[in-house]
Amino acid sequence: MRRGVLLVLALMLTGTAAAADTSCDNCKVWNTPQKPFRIFGNTYYVGPHGLSAILITSESGHVLIDGALPESAAQIAAHIRELGFRLEDVKLILNSHVHFDHAGGIAELQRLTGAAVKVSASTATVMKTGGVGEDDPQFGTVANIAPVGNVSTVADGEMLHLGPLALTAHFTPGHTAGGTTWTWDSCESARCLHMVYADSLFAAGADGYRFSDHPDVVQSFERSFTRFTALPCNILVSAHPEFSELWGRLQRRDQGDADGLVDHNACTRYVGVMQRRLADTLAVESTPRR
């Protein structure tokens, strides 16, 4: 069984996934260096090994999605330069969700690039203050981030344009209130593929948090699952790369399968795992304590 699937299943079986998302016992592992690489066309992986960050490039400027940990910012910046791109040409920074392991490096990356930041309204509120929202299932256990300036909001379904680049925001709340999945197309010669950068759809709460006591959050997850499976999806990258089996697919490509990263069923499988996690969590919560 692939390492990514093992990790997801392990989290599901422990019933304590909140620790995996909020404890910085994992920070050193998440921030393990990863050589940057082209995913497809003008889309590149520039994050550390355990936390995704994606660069989409054009002659009119570049878009960066996610900033990983605060200590990841220097690595992401170095990766952008290593690929031959200038930090000053990063004009726009986007975010999946505003936990410290995906947004912690954004303030420093904004300082280095001068880029504007565009996020959902809920995410923007948290970014501007650096505090975690009380509507977050992991409130009280997630570390704050450095406040981010020059933040503006994007609407659900809005398409952002930077020169020839066009990225669409799809709100996928549940893990956080402002969670956002991003889609765009990347091309190599005449071949264009639908790219998906998946927000976390993983049901993880602080100690004592019961999803069954928050039916609005459960409904948010269910709507996000439905919405996500409807997305055109040829190449999937998730905020935690193991959750979309990125490293196994990259290995296949490195071993000679030119389409090793392409998986038209990846989005459906991703949602399936996340649906089971939520169902198992609700089942545990409904079991009477002895």
Tokens 């300036």 locate to 149
Q: What is the pLDDT of residues 138-164, one digit of tens each?
A: 999 999 999 999 999 999 999 999 999
Whole-number Cα distances in Å, 198 to 59, 161, 179, 224, 257: 25, 19, 9, 11, 24
pLDDT at 2: 40
**129 Cβ neighbours under 8 A, 6+ residues apart:** 147
pLDDT at 183 over 60: yes
- Residue 290: band (very low, low, confident or very high) from pLDDT cuts 50, 70, 90: low
Domains and CATH numbers, the chain: 3-283 (3.60.15.10)
| CA-wise closest residue to 69 among 86, 87, 52 | 52
**238 Cβ neighbours under 8 A, 6+ residues apart:** 52, 197, 198, 200, 244, 246, 270
Mean pLDDT in residue range 251-257: 98
Contact between 172 and 178 (Cβ < 8 Å): no
Mean pLDDT of all residues in the chain?
A: 92
Tokens of 215: 């039916």
Distance CA 247, CA 275 (A): 22
pLDDT at 133: 87
Q: What is the pLDDT of residues 47-82, one digit of tens each?
A: 999 999 999 999 999 999 999 999 999 999 999 999
pLDDT at 24: 78
Mean pLDDT in residue range 192-198: 98
pLDDT at 19: 32
pLDDT at 8 over 60: no
Largest CA distance in the chain: 63
Edge-first strand listing for the sheet containing 191-198? 159-162, 165-171, 180-188, 191-198, 235-238
State if pTM tops 0.85: yes
Q: What is the pLDDT of residues 10-41, one digit of tens each?
A: 343 333 333 333 347 889 999 999 999 999 99
pLDDT at 255: 98
Q: What is the pLDDT of residues 258-275, one digit of tens each?
A: 999 999 999 999 999 999
Q: What is the pLDDT of residues 82-126, one digit of tens each?
A: 999 999 999 999 999 999 999 999 999 999 999 999 999 999 999
